[in-house]
Amino acid sequence: MPATTAAAARVAVVIPCLDEAAAVGKVVDDVRAALPGAQVYVYDNGSTDGTAEVAARHGALVRVEERPGKGNVVRRAFADLEADVYVLIDGDDTYDASAAGELLRVLASGGYDHVVGVRRPGSLTAFRRGHAAGNRALNEVVSRVFGTPVTDMLSGYRVMSRRFVKSFPAISRGFEVETELTVHAVNLRVPQREVPVGFRDRAEGSTSKLRTYRDGWRILWWIVRLAHYERPLLVHSVLGGLLALVAVLLGIPLVVEFARTGLVPRFPTAILASALGMVAALVVAVGFVLDAVRRAADESMRLAYLRYPAPPARLAAPAPGAPR
């Protein structure tokens, strides 16, 4: 099917913003140039610097989400907006917004549901100190826990199909939402692709809202929560195994002593070892129950995903240089 403009299908661009007056205007302009038929929404999350006014002057539809946190913004936008494809990009002008057309073409041409813009820094200062190393560490954790290689889990630049968005539970409240999106794609096993995109320094006068250590620990804790929710049997088996190991280490000397003398010399230790063994068995049993519950939830999520059609090939944006 020949590619047409983005106007052939409904494309919603979601730009979460908090005090991004210095950058949001350029982001809106670049996105509108890359996707001339798309509807651009700027979600103001409590800005005090005139972000909403700047976005409106540049042609974006401005909406307000009063509850603080990027996760709350994404949850609201995904619930409110109806489109065939959704583009999520930060309003700080660090991502190459002109690549939106390419990401859209990849989504359509490959029949993907989730395309992630993997950041390729254009300068040594594009990533704040510690952010690159922290991102790599978190990528490694998620890749190992969930069994799927992840290159840039914290990227805020994504293109998603309607069926992916409408099956996304959106539980997180803050910057953990990127992690939640990544894990959702992995668990639902949707067709997805990573595409390199440019990443640059923030615009002058714009400051990052991400706090390296505070938000890093929050994201890591969210990964632990998601691992417990999505892989309960694995988590409970590891925890139960550790408890059982401690019980065995405490109990072996007692068993040896009992076999040799017929006496149990340390009753408190024997009671503790027995209790740990029972707790270990209980923890593993709970893991089996939670795993059955998770499978039922996965089936419901999958049915919600299948309720919507696949993204049509006509979503593709015009090739560079093509008439618009």
Q: What is the CATH number of the domain that holds 56?
A: 3.90.550.10
The average confidence (pLDDT) of the chain is: 84
Same domain flag for 130 and 219: yes
**Mean pLDDT computed over 61-78:** 93
- Place 236 in a pLDDT band, splitting at 50, 70 and 90: very high
Looking at the chain, the whole-number percentage of residues with pLDDT higher than 70 is 85
Please tell me the distance from the alpha carbon of residue 162 to that of residue 82, in angstroms, as a whole number. Answer: 8
Residue 324 in domain? no
pLDDT at 59: 93
Give the residue, 247 or 221, on which the prediction is more confident.
247
Same domain flag for 193 and 267: no
pLDDT at 295: 86
Same domain flag for 32 and 136: yes
Amino acid in the structure at residue 323: P
pLDDT at 321: 42
Residue written as token pair 């949001």: 24
Closest CA to 218 of 228, 208, 226: 226
Residue 322 in domain? no
Of the residues 168, 197, 226, the one at which a domain ends:
226
pLDDT at 26: 93
Q: Report residue 155 as tokens.
A: 């990227």
Q: Tell me if residue 203 falls in helix, strand or coil.
A: coil
Same domain flag for 72 and 193: yes
Q: Report residue 266 as tokens.
A: 């340390």
pLDDT at 54: 95
- Domain tally for the chain? 2
Q: Which of 11-15, 140-144, 209-213, 314-318 has the lowest mean pLDDT?
A: 314-318
pLDDT at 259: 80
6 pLDDT higher than 70: no
Same domain flag for 213 and 242: no
pLDDT at 313: 63
Same domain flag for 243 and 295: yes
Closest CA to 311 of 161, 189, 124: 161
Residue 279 in domain? yes
Residue 319 in domain? no
- Place 129 in a pLDDT band, splitting at 50, 70 and 90: low
205 pLDDT higher than 70: no
2 pLDDT higher than 50: no
pLDDT at 238: 93
143 pLDDT higher than 50: yes
Same domain flag for 163 and 220: yes
Of the residues 159, 194, 226, the one at which a domain ends:
226
- The angle formed by the CA atoms of residues 54, 58 and 59, to the nearest 5 degrees, is 120
Give the residue, 259 or 61, on which the prediction is more confident.
61
Residue 308 in domain? no
Residue 320 in domain? no
Q: Which of 87-91, 124-128, 147-151, 182-186 has the lowest mean pLDDT?
A: 124-128
Same domain flag for 96 and 185: yes
Same domain flag for 208 and 244: no
**Mean pLDDT computed over 248-267:** 83
Give the residue, 29 or 179, on which the prediction is more confident.
29
Q: What is the pLDDT of residues 14-60, one digit of tens each?
A: 999 998 998 999 999 999 999 998 999 999 998 998 999 999 999 99
Residue 83 in domain? yes
Same domain flag for 244 and 180: no
Same domain flag for 251 and 204: no
82 pLDDT higher than 60: yes
Beta bridge partners of 185: none
pLDDT at 320: 43
CB 295 within 8 A of CB 263: no
Of the residues 192, 226, 260, the one at which a domain ends:
226
Same domain flag for 146 and 275: no
Residue 222 in domain? yes
pTM beyond 0.75: yes
Instruction: Quote the domain boundaries for residue 40.
Output: 6-226
Please tell me the distance from the alpha carbon of residue 8 to that of residue 316, in angstroms, as a whole number. Answer: 9
